[in-house]
Structure 1
């Protein structure tokens, strides 16, 4: 099990711009997770939730929603880094997101990231990461995202 990189403060994080993090530990995407995401979002397209029909489809099985893969970043990024002294973090936005490859049910995913920018904001820092999510055995990443978060002390 890989340990996340621990930064002792936002100042230390600020000196780490350009640092590569990870890859982190694997996380499995099972059908239950896909079904719960479909229920939460109202996206019940058969390619995600109907294993029988999806078996006859282009991927031979159900696949995770692209936005489900993106929504796993709050579970995957803490496997890469942690900043001590932060009382709260919020997602501020995304500069760019792509889903170059599908995530078949049962796939194991992990992330790696590069710290692109850390800038001071009132009460904390705004952190921009280039995050790449890969599928075990996959040739292409399943998600590439430039995330913007705000960390408050």
Structure 2
């Protein structure tokens, strides 16, 4: 989800809800403590130089249980960040949230809630590392009796 898409969803909301992958809801008194741009310039295990750039939100929950961030206020924070930091509204959003360590999530929107979607590590150079791509039969969750795999 991009910054622009987040702002668009905020237009129609009366309250903010962020849902974790386990289905629990981030406590209503959370703060958005950072909105920024994160640039990652790296070399993968196959020797390819890569650049990634995302917009980053950091959610934080404190003991201040009377705090309630309203959708319009978050939209204003995002707009201010776009102007002051020259953030591209088409940047994908990544969310940081404190669990047992800082978790990094993708963001989706469903049923009136922002969904924090788990991220995974991956080898970006499987072909150079000798890691075969899964075969179609291995990808399937059920075996077709006519496929010869059963």
The bucket for the TM-score relative to the shorter chain is under 0.3
- TM-score, with structure 1 as normaliser: 0.21
